[in-house]
Structure 1
C-alpha cells in the first residue's frame, strides 16, 4: 500500500541555483565511444563531449544522433564536439576542463575486465579497445589536476561500456550510499569521492556552521567510496588506490581509513592490497570492496577477484589482518553488499555475474561460509544496499524496478511502495522515533530531484511504508548519488543532499513526530546550503 504525504516547501536560506556548475564533460577516445555515455544522461544535464581523436565518419554521425536524442529528452548541449588531437593529451584536456569548469566528468573504465585468457601465454583479451583504458587514465589525471588547481570538487564517473547481457552501462566505482555520519559529540560529517580524492564536510558545533569541503589527505584514490560504521558508530572508509608502475602498468589496491574524532585527521590509509596483487595485469581488475563489522568489532572486507568469485580479508578485534582468502561459489558481478546479521556475524549479498539472481553467504554452525543460491527474488544492477534492520537487504525488483526489502528467513521480499519507482539504491537511517516507537527511514530521490523520505516501523516493512517528497529550494538540480541521513546520539535527525559546486543541502527534523491522514510523517525544518 502506498502512503504518501505532500509537504509544503520549506523556506530557503538564499538562492542556490548554479546552472553552469551542472555541466558534465564526457571524455572518450573517439566520438563513437561517447554514444553510450550520452544515452545515460537524464533531463536537465548540460553535456560537453571531448574526444582525444576525431574518429571515423560513421562514429561522428552516431554521436550526433545520440546528442539529438539527448536534446529531445531535455538535455542541453554545450558547444560542439571538441577533438584534442594533441601530443600531450593530458595537458590539452586540462586546458579544456579549465574552460568548461564541469561539475561532473564521465569517462570509461580505466581497468577493464578481461573476457579471455590464453592458458599457454597468459595473455589477456578484453571486450573493449585498449583506447578505453588509455582515455580514462588521461581523464583521471586531468580531472585530478583540475581540482587541485581550482579547489572545486569534481565528481568523476568511470563507466563500463561492454553492454553485456542487457546489463547496459555500469559504474566501475560506486558512489557512496550512507555517506553522512554522526560522531560521539553530536557533530555530523559528510564524505564524498572526487577526482582528487575524498572530500569531507563537518559541523563546527552540532546544528551550527559547517567546515568544508576539505580534501582528505591520502593516496591517489579511484573515484568511489564505501562508508560503514563500526559498533561504536564511528565511520570507516574503504576505497581503491590506483598507482602507476615503473614498467608502465598500474597497481590497484584496496585501502582503509577511519575517523575517530569529528574534524580531526583520519587514520593513515592502510594498504590491504588485493587477492591477485602478485600479477598487476590481474590485480588491476579487483572489484570495489564491500565490508561490515560483526558484533565483536571484527571487520570483514570482500572483493570480486580476477576469476569473478569472491575473496575476503578479516581484521580481528586486536587489529591483526588475515590474508586474502577465497570464498567458493558462483561467479559474481561487481556488486557486493556486506551486512551485520541478526546473529551478530557478517553476511554477504552479491549480484550474480550472468543473471539478475542475488547470492548470499553466511557463517554456518561450524563458522565456515555457506552459500545460498535460493533467494526468492532477482534484482536490478546497481540497486543493492543494506537495510536498516540487521541482516536485511534493500534492492529494486529486476522486472518492475520497485524498491523491496528482504530479510533472511522470510518467504518473499516486501515491496516498499514508492509512489514513483526510482533508480539506484536507497539509503537508510535506523533509530528514528515517532510517537515513542522506533522507525526505519528510507531515502531516495523524488520526481523533482529532491529527497524522498519513507518510514516504516522498525523490522516491519510489511505493515506499510509512508512516503513523502520534500521540496527543496533547488528543484530539478541534478546531483550524483542518493540523499543521506543520520541520527545523532541526542536523537537529532538530519538529511543531506549534494549540490553542485562542493555544497550540501541540509535540513534537520523540525518536529519530534507528526501523523497525518496518510500515516506517519517526518517534518523537516528549513533547508540550508552549507560548504562550498
Structure 2
C-alpha cells in the first residue's frame, strides 16, 4: 500500500481572523482511478488533493487519473503525492482507516453510495446499475470516515459526487446531497446555533450568550448512520427542525434509507430523538435507497410540509399538523424532476415548491391556496438554474438561483415577468440572505454568495426593489461551504463561514442601524 509522509493538518487561523489562502486538505476516496479522476476534476483551486483508490484499475485509467491530477495542479490545487491503492490489503475498510489516520483530512470526496439506476429489471423487481462496485466503495469510504471522525473528535465534511454528473459542473453542483443553506439560526432564547452535516452525523456550535463572541462546540449530536446532508428549518416559534437521510439495516441483508426529523427546542440542549418519516417508496430497499433529499417549510396555519423526490422521479410529500399528527405520503403527479428541490413560503403563508426538471433545464413550481387546497403545477417558470444553486430568497415568496448560462445570481417570484440579475457571476453554489436589515432608516434585504476561490461576498438591496440594484462588498473571508447569515430579533446581523481547516468563523455587523460594515472575523 502506498504511503506518503504528511501530517495532513491544515493551517489554523489565529483568533480574530479567518485565513485566506489556506488549502483544504481533501482526501478523494474512490473505487478506482476512473472514478477518482472525475472527482478530482470537480475540485476547484485551493485544495490539497490526496487520492485513495480501492482498486488499481487499468493502465489507461491510472494515466487518466495522473492527467486529472496534473490539470488540478495547473488550476491552483496542491497535489503532494500520487494515489494510494487500499485494495492490496484484504480488509478495505481497515486499510482506508489507516490511510485516513495518516492524512488527517477535514474534507473527503467520494462517490454516490445510492446512485440513480441506469434501468429497471421488471421481472426481477430490481434496479439495474452500470457499476455497482462504485456504490460499495462509497459505503466503505463513509464507514471509514465516520470511524476516523469519531476517533479524532474533529468534524470531517463529506461530499458524495453524483455518478455520471456533467464534468463541467463543480463539486457543489454535482453533489448527491445538496449544500446546506440557512445553517446559522437564532433559537428561542436569542442565542445562535450553527448546524452542519459531517461524516459521523450533525455537528453543532452554540453561542454562549445572545450577541456574545463565546461559542461552545463543535459537538457531535447523536444520529447513527446519517448520510452527509442536512436541511435546517426554523419554525414560527423559534424552534429549529432538522431533516436528514438515515441508513438502517434490513432484516435479511441490505439497507433501507429513510427520511428522519429531529427538533432543537432549547439552544445547546439535546435534540429530540430522530423520528422516522419513512420513505416515499416504503417496503422496497432498492426504491427507498434512491429517494431524494428532503426539503421542508412551514405554512401560515402552522403545518410542517416535507417534500422529497421519489423513485419514479416525481415528488412526494407529508404534512404535520400543528397538533403533531402526520399525514401519509402523498404523490404530486406531473413533470419528472431531478434531486434539486427548494421550498419557499409566500407572504400569505403558503408553502410553494420549486424543482429542477430531470430531462431538461426547466424548473417546475407547485403551489396551492391554503392547507387543504389542490396543488397546481406551473411549468412556465422563466429561469434555468445551475444545478444545486436554487434557494429561498430573503423576502417571502422569492427564490434565488444562479443562471445556467451566465452563472450570475438572480431572483424571481411569481408574477414577475422575468428574473432579475443580481450581479456577481463569480463563484458557485447556492446563495442565502436575510431581510429586515435597517440601514439609515431604510429596510434592506441581505444576500450572501461565494466567490471563485470561496471568497464570501455580501450584497444588499432595498426590500421589494431588487430591480434597483445590488451593492456587493467583500465579506473579508473565504468559506469552504456556503456562507450563512442571520438577522436576530434585536436587529443584529451575523455572518458565518467554515474555514479550510473545518473551523467555524463568525463576523458580527458593527451597527444595527447604519452601514453594512462587519467586525473582524474570529474562529471558534
Q: How does 1:133-148 map to 2 (within 5 A)?
A: 133-148=135-150
Q: Deviations over 1:313-345 (max 9, x none)?
A: 000010000001110110000000011122211
Q: How does 1:171-190 map to 2 (within 5 A)?
A: 171-190=175-194
**Structure 1 residues 438 and 257: CA distance shift in structure 2, 3 A:** same
**Structure 1 residues 165 and 190: CA distance shift in structure 2, 3 A:** closer
Q: Deviations over 1:479-528 (max 9, x none)?
A: 432111111121111111012444211111112344xxxxxx51101211
Partner in structure 2 of residue 102 of structure 1: 105
**Structure 1 residues 378 and 175: CA distance shift in structure 2, 3 A:** closer
Partner in structure 1 of residue 10 of structure 2: none
Taking the aligned partners of 1:293 and 1:217, their CA distance within structure 2 comes to 25
> What stretches of structure 1 move > 4 A for 4+ residues in a row?
14-21, 164-169
Of stretches 332-341 and 17-26 in structure 1, the one that deviates more from structure 2 is 17-26
Q: How does 1:380-529 map to 2 (within 5 A)?
A: 380-418=386-424, 420-447=425-452, 449-472=454-477, 479-514=479-514, 521-529=515-523
Q: Deviations over 1:433-485 (max 9, x none)?
A: 1122221110112355332000111222111111101223xxxx6x4321111
Q: Is the 8 A contact 1:161 1:168 kept in 2?
A: no
SS in 2 for 1:380: coil
SS in 2 for 1:360: strand
Normalised by the size of structure 2, how large is the TM-score? 0.93
Q: Is the 8 A contact 1:235 1:259 kept in 2?
A: yes
Taking the aligned partners of 1:447 and 1:216, their CA distance within structure 2 comes to 32
**Structure 1 residues 66 and 257: CA distance shift in structure 2, 3 A:** same
1:340 and 2:345 aligned: yes
Partner in structure 2 of residue 25 of structure 1: 27
Q: Is the 8 A contact 1:184 1:489 kept in 2?
A: no
Match of 1:66 among 65, 68, 75: 68
Match of 2:208 among 204, 209, 213: 204
**Structure 1 residues 21 and 250: CA distance shift in structure 2, 3 A:** farther
Q: Is the 8 A contact 1:162 1:168 kept in 2?
A: no
Q: Deviations over 1:27-76 (max 9, x none)?
A: 11111111110001111210000011111111001001111111111111
CA shift, 1:151, in A, is 0.2
Q: How does 1:266-345 map to 2 (within 5 A)?
A: 266-345=271-350
Gaps spanning 5+ residues in structure 1: where? Answer: 1-10, 515-520
Partner in structure 1 of residue 4 of structure 2: none
Taking the aligned partners of 1:17 and 1:387, their CA distance within structure 2 comes to 29
Taking the aligned partners of 2:307 and 2:72, their CA distance within structure 1 comes to 38
Q: How does 1:25-174 map to 2 (within 5 A)?
A: 25-84=27-86, 85-126=88-129, 128-163=130-165, 170-174=174-178
CA shift, 1:421, in A, is 2.8
SS in 2 for 1:141: helix
Gaps spanning 5+ residues in structure 2: where? Answer: 1-12
Partner in structure 2 of residue 6 of structure 1: none
Give the aligned CA root-mean-square deviation in angstroms: 2.0
Taking the aligned partners of 1:430 and 1:221, their CA distance within structure 2 comes to 32
Taking the aligned partners of 1:440 and 1:249, their CA distance within structure 2 comes to 48
SS in 1 for 2:71: helix
**Structure 1 residues 78 and 245: CA distance shift in structure 2, 3 A:** farther
Which structure ranks higher in relative contact order (CA pairs < 8 Å, sequence separation ≥ 6)?
1
Taking the aligned partners of 1:24 and 1:168, their CA distance within structure 2 comes to 15
Q: Deviations over 1:331-383 (max 9, x none)?
A: 00000001112221111000000111110000148700000001112111111
**Structure 1 residues 168 and 278: CA distance shift in structure 2, 3 A:** farther
Normalised by the size of structure 1, how large is the TM-score? 0.92
Of stretches 213-222 and 325-334 in structure 1, the one that deviates more from structure 2 is 213-222
Taking the aligned partners of 1:165 and 1:24, their CA distance within structure 2 comes to 19
Q: Is the 8 A contact 1:27 1:50 kept in 2?
A: yes
CA shift, 1:403, in A, is 0.5
Taking the aligned partners of 2:343 and 2:379, their CA distance within structure 1 comes to 16
CA shift, 1:397, in A, is 1.1
SS in 2 for 1:376: coil
CA shift, 1:12, in A, is 7.0
**Structure 1 residues 328 and 403: CA distance shift in structure 2, 3 A:** same
Partner in structure 1 of residue 196 of structure 2: 192
Q: Is the 8 A contact 1:165 1:354 kept in 2?
A: no
CA shift, 1:157, in A, is 0.7
